[in-house]
Structure 1
Amino acid sequence: MKFIRGTPALVIGRKLVIADLHLGFEKHVKGLNVGNQTKRIADNVKRLLKENCCNELIILGDIKHSVTVRPDLEDVQAFVSDVKRFATITLVMGNHDGSLQNYLDIRVVDGRGYRDGKYYFMHGHAAPKKEYVNCTVISSHIHPVIAFRDNLGGRIVEKIWLIGERLVIMPAFNPLIGGIDVRKSTLDVLEKRFDRRTLGIYLLDGLYLCNVGDLPEIDSL
């Protein structure tokens, strides 16, 4: 398993793994006129596939932003049509993905995820199947970030990886998507299956900060 420095993506063999694309998000932003990001995201994925010699793309859920199918379906279909010329695509259904299996000509796995060798791929909103035991679980869903505040009141939020001995939580791939600070979030369905305090916090550039359990408590971010 290789983490791609500076990018919320990882490679296993010839598989590129990403999560939480939230295609169509820009249509739901209020107060700003944000241009369509689908082609930009697709081009980024194709570049990563080529640079890392991958022939399979695994998307760990929430390929689209709207919970209902129709608002973002055109964006999803455009993305899939573009990218599948370069790689086979497996989508693990996320809580935003509705009935997409009825509209896409790709492999679609239910939200509980699936095992592939020593890895178990899931989105993170639905409990995994029993075969996740003894696997390295790769999940997403919670959009992990960490906030920094300086002594002048400035605030910076950075996407992070959460990495443990048998668990990897992926940051959201869409650059416009934020998250909840790791000090305030849970692992959702994985909370009782893994000790969140032991997970290491890594920035996208690979810098290790500390374990979750060693973070200082703060009143407000």
Structure 2
Amino acid sequence: MLNLKATAAITTLLCAGAAGAATFNGFANGGFETVDGGIPVGWALGDATHPVLSTDAHSGAYSLLLSRPGGFGGSGMEQHSVAHGGLAALTAANVGDTPILSFWAKGDASPTGNAKYVLRYVGDAGVLYDSGFQHFESSLVSSSWTQISFQAGAIPAGTTAVYLLMNTAVGPLLDGRVNAVYIDDIQLTLTTAPVPEPESYALLIAGLGVVAAVARRRRA
């Protein structure tokens, strides 16, 4: 029984000495609150006029409006978490994580339009995971915000960044309906695995020595 108690004590010490798992947003400025010259920092926009910042926000001061009021065309935004967002590269501590992408949306894609996104994991070897285009125009409500969620696949080894593209596209406008899709509060929930601190390894070595000594004493 003594060796089992010692093992349990070592496990407790290791858990206490490990750096806890950390959860963070994989994309920068997901609420579009940091703005420079009318452009949300961290995001690459389709062109000079589409999309645009809007004060019709789910939270905070701004949302981003994807729209082609005149019809015929698309409106999009994208972020590479490192190149555009300026975030730190993902590491081996993120491998195996299955993050959830969520955002809030409202509006009307028009009878001839759509609204969609694609999530990718990228690394030095190129695209390592591609969600494919996920359509959400059927979830849009023109008068209220709806949260859209997507369970992504596991992050593979070699992933250094995440990438998101969101856009709306429209043909001729019909029935007097405009193409207007508001996006806000984008969140990719990433979790890093807990990593033992250097002191934990010292405790492990010392603890194993105790277990070995107890085992020798019991045999004697």
Q: Same-fold call, TM > 0.5?
A: no
Say which structure, 1 or 2, has more relative contact order (CA 8 Å, 6+ apart): 2
The structure where strand makes up a greater share of residues is 2
Structure showing greater radius of gyration is 2
